[in-house]
């Protein structure tokens, strides 16, 4: 005698379940739960836009309000993915415009977004509220103008780190005078000056504005005007923080900052004039997030600020902070959870900046809550890595980039295998790891054995042989994303671990030793994987199977091979002769 709750009771219960993983689990319980769940799922996350098609999504989830899509592989950030690779959002928007008239939120990462897509968004969804374009490209300020003009209920417009064709700053003036719902705007990546009076009026009529990230072109002497209109701001990004030194400008600015009692996050500070920095001191004690990673501020000024930020949880900064600044961070910011130190001058051997592994060790020793680290430096030692691992077993994300590729332990000249081994052994909850320095197959043995929670691994210029890759693919039970460049990993390891690839989101390998033949074989063995070879040089007809591929991107999918590939990308499921016959001449 089976009895169950009425559907709408179950639906109500499910409405409290928001995480995707939990929702997925709910949908597997039984057929009726699957049905109820799919009708009431409102938020979907697609980590690889080619893993599924818009049609499949819409058929399963008929009433979605919030969509997040990711496109290009992570290594696209570093110019390893050629232009024209894909990741076009338009087909998704086109289908959503028909199927989801009540769509409210679109969040995209590393996708190609056209002005037409933006126009379509602005006209199709009457309740549209949130648009986040993270590291996207392909659109111009004209597209933004359409969003501004038509999205009457817009709350959030975040253009973080996107590459936008900046035709003019006029787009901001397209927000109508009746538009008052803005809560968050991030235009930091735009170069053009927007009309200040338009910006001023927009801020003045947005009582719910919490996040305002200006672009470089907004001058310092105008900041106080904006802050006075929005003392309720929680996050603020300045423009160029420089102006003639004038006492009245300074005092206006300092006073404006002191009125912002809710300010928790600061960013911007391009072109700093140090004399104006004390104007922010009044907010330092409340700050939880500080992004100085685009600022030329030097160590003394950085140190003065962070020494007052006792509640700081997140710091992004350039290596101008130097070891001395990191020591101050370790002393002052006991709540620190995330640290990112970027290189001010990545392409010189000697940057004349006194930042070494000691700064990182110091922060790891001094900040008990530190979980997430991204650190660029020019020297590292196993002993430093041991110290980090022992002191911070709670690390969940450790991304280390020693700028000189394959640099060994600078004290002993040994590989850094043992040091990274200590990291994976001690940090049992490590979810993300990026390796650098001189590494042999041994480090992969450590990783395969110990890194059970690891979800994303980035490898460059490391390892000796296929054994290294085999250790990773045969271990690392939680691995979802693996990206590899310039390593001597090849066919053997890949073909010995084919089943693993279906448990992962994706695998990227470039400048490794995988052959076309192996790709073809893999493709035949695993029909639910797309095995995409990226080869801009082309390959010779003779002995094609033993030729090595330039770049390889393998991902699981229920959508079959994609149809929007440029001619330098191949899937290996087609007969070779057919492919050669039909290949467009380069």
Q: What is the distance in angstroms between the CA of the first residue and the CA of the last residue of the chain? A: 68
The only residue of 58, 94, 99, 189 in contact with other proteins, by rule CB under 8 A? 189
Q: Residue 143 or 415: which CB sits closer to other proteins? A: 415
Q: Residue 332 or 434: which CB sits closer to other proteins? A: 434
To which H or E segment does residue 484 belong?
A: strand 481-485
- CA dist 240 and 339 (Å) reads 23
For residue 505, give Cα distances in angstroms to 35, 403, 529, 530. Answer: 25, 28, 10, 11
The only residue of 355, 460, 521, 522 in contact with other proteins, by rule CB under 8 A? 460
The verdict on 293 binding other proteins (CB under 8 A) reads yes
Yes or no: say if 297 and 321 are a contact pair by the CB < 8 Å rule.
no
Residue 542 Cβ, how far from other proteins at the closest point, in Å?
7
The verdict on 348 binding other proteins (CB under 8 A) reads yes
- CA dist 522 and 497 (Å) reads 10
CA nearest to 232, candidates 187, 180, 184, 277:
184
The only residue of 486, 497, 526, 562 in contact with other proteins, by rule CB under 8 A? 486
The verdict on 464 binding other proteins (CB under 8 A) reads yes
The verdict on 468 binding other proteins (CB under 8 A) reads no
Chain positions 43 to 102 lying near other proteins, rule: CB under 8 A, are: 75, 77-80
Q: Residue 243 or 312: which CB sits closer to other proteins? A: 243
Candidate ranges 201-209, 251-259, 495-503, 536-544; the one touching other proteins (CB under 8 A): 536-544
Residue 257 Cβ, how far from other proteins at the closest point, in Å?
21
Q: In sequence order, which residues have a C-beta less than 8 Å from that of residue 300 and are 6 or more positions away? A: none
Residue 413 Cβ, how far from other proteins at the closest point, in Å?
8
Yes or no: say if 379 and 407 are a contact pair by the CB < 8 Å rule.
yes
The only residue of 178, 197, 352, 540 in contact with other proteins, by rule CB under 8 A? 540
The verdict on 543 binding other proteins (CB under 8 A) reads yes
Yes or no: say if 134 and 107 are a contact pair by the CB < 8 Å rule.
yes
DSSP class of residue 390? H
The verdict on 513 binding other proteins (CB under 8 A) reads yes
Interhelix angle 141-150/115-124, rounded to 10 degrees, is 0
The structure tokens listed for 121 are 């968004």
The verdict on 217 binding other proteins (CB under 8 A) reads no
The verdict on 245 binding other proteins (CB under 8 A) reads yes
Residue 158 Cβ, how far from other proteins at the closest point, in Å?
14
Binding mask 392-411 for other proteins (x = CB under 8 A): ---------x-xxxxxx---
Q: What are phi and psi of 197, to 5 degrees?
A: -65, -35
The verdict on 370 binding other proteins (CB under 8 A) reads no
Residue 153 Cβ, how far from other proteins at the closest point, in Å?
29
Binding mask 129-168 for other proteins (x = CB under 8 A): ------x-------------------------xxx-----
Q: Which residue has the tokens 């910006």?
A: 199
Q: What are phi and psi of 326, to 5 degrees?
A: -70, -35
Q: Residue 104 or 137: which CB sits closer to other proteins? A: 137
Q: Residue 186 or 391: which CB sits closer to other proteins? A: 186
Chain positions 318 to 347 lying near other proteins, rule: CB under 8 A, are: 342-347
The structure tokens listed for 425 are 């052994």
CA nearest to 440, candidates 388, 398, 482, 382:
382
- CA dist 54 and 5 (Å) reads 32
Binding mask 263-292 for other proteins (x = CB under 8 A): -------xx-x-------------------
Q: What are phi and psi of 245, to 5 degrees?
A: -80, 110
The verdict on 8 binding other proteins (CB under 8 A) reads no
Yes or no: say if 168 and 192 are a contact pair by the CB < 8 Å rule.
yes
- In DSSP terms, 401 is beta-bridged to 376
Q: Residue 227 or 401: which CB sits closer to other proteins? A: 401
Per-residue b or e along 402-427, where b marks 16 or more CB atoms closer than 10 Å to that residue's CB: bbeeebbbbeeeebbbbbbbbbbbbb
Applying CB under 8 A, the residues found at the interface with other proteins are 75, 77-80, 135, 161-163, 189, 240, 242-245, 270-271, 273, 293-294, 296, 342-349, 376, 401, 403-408, 413, 434, 438, 458, 460-461, 464-466, 485-488, 490, 510-511, 513, 540, 542-543, 546-548, 550
């Amino acid at each position: 005698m089976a009895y169950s709750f009425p559907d709408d009771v179950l639906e109500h219960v499910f409405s409290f379940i928001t995480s995707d993983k939990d929702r997925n689990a709910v949908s597997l319980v039984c057929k009726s739960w699957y049905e109820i769940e799919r009708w009431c799922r409102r938020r979907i996350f697609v980590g690889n836009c080619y893993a599924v098609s818009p049609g499949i999504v819409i058929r399963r989830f008929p009433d979605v309000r919030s969509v997040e899509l990711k496109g290009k592989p992570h290594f696209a950030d570093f110019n390893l993915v050629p232009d024209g690779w894909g990741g076009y959002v338009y087909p998704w928007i086109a289908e959503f415009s028909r199927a989801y008239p009540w769509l409210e939120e679109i969040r995209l990462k590393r996708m190609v977004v056209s002005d037409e897509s933006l126009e379509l968004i602005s006209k199709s969804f009457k309740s549209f509220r949130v648009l986040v374009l993270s590291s996207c490209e392909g659109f111009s300020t004209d597209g933004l103008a359409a969003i501004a003009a038509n999205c009457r209920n817009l709350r959030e417009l975040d253009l973080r780190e996107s590459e936008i064709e900046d035709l003019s700053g006029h787009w901001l003036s397209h927000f109508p005078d009746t538009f008052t719902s803005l809560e968050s705007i991030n235009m930091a990546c735009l170069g053009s000056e927007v009309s200040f009076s338009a910006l001023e009026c927009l801020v003045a009529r947005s009582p719910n504005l919490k996040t305002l990230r200006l672009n470089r072109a907004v001058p310092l002497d105008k900041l106080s005007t904006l802050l006075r209109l929005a003392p309720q701001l929680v996050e603020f990004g300045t423009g160029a923080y420089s102006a003639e030194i004038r006492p009245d400008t300074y005092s206006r600015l300092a006073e404006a900052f002191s009125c912002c009692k809710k300010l928790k996050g600061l960013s911007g500070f391009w072109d700093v004039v140090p004399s104006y920095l004390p104007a922010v001191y009044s907010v330092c004690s409340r700050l939880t997030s500080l992004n100085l990673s685009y600022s030329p501020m030097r160590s003394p000024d950085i140190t003065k600020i962070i020494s007052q930020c006792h509640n700081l949880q997140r710091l992004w900064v350039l290596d101008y902070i130097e070891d001395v600044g990191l020591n101050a961070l370790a002393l002052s910011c006991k709540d620190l959870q995330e640290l990112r130190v970027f290189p001010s001058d990545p392409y010189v051997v000697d940057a004349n900046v006194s930042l070494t592994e000691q700064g990182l060790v110091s922060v790891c020793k001094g900040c008990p809550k530190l979980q997430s680290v991204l650190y660029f430096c020019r020297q590292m030692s196993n002993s430093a890595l041991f110290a980090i691992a022992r002191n911070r077993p709670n690390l969940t994300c450790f991304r280390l980039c020693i700028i000189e590729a394959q640099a060994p332990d600078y004290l002993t000249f040994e590989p850094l295998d043992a040091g990274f081994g200590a990291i994976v052994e001690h940090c049992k909850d490590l979810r993300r790891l990026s390796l650098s320095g001189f590494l042999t197959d041994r480090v992969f043995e450590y990783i395969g054995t110990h890194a059970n929670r690891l979800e994303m691994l980035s490898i460059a210029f490391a390892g000796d042989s296929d054994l290294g890759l085999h250790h990773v693919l045969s271990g690392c039970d939680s691995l979802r994303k693996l990206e590899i460049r310039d390593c001597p990993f090849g066919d053997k390891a890949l073909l010995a671990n084919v089943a693993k690839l279906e448990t992962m989101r994706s695998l990227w390998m470039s400048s490794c030793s995988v052959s076309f033949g192996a790709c073809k074989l893999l493709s035949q063995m695993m029909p639910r994987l797309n095995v995409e070879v990226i080869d801009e040089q082309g390959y010779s007809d003779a002995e094609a199977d033993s030729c090595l591929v330039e770049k390889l991107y393998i991902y699981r999918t229920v959508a079959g091979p994609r149809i929007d590939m440029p001619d330098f990308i191949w899937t290996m499921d087609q007969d070779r002769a057919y492919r050669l016959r039909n290949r467009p001449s380069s």
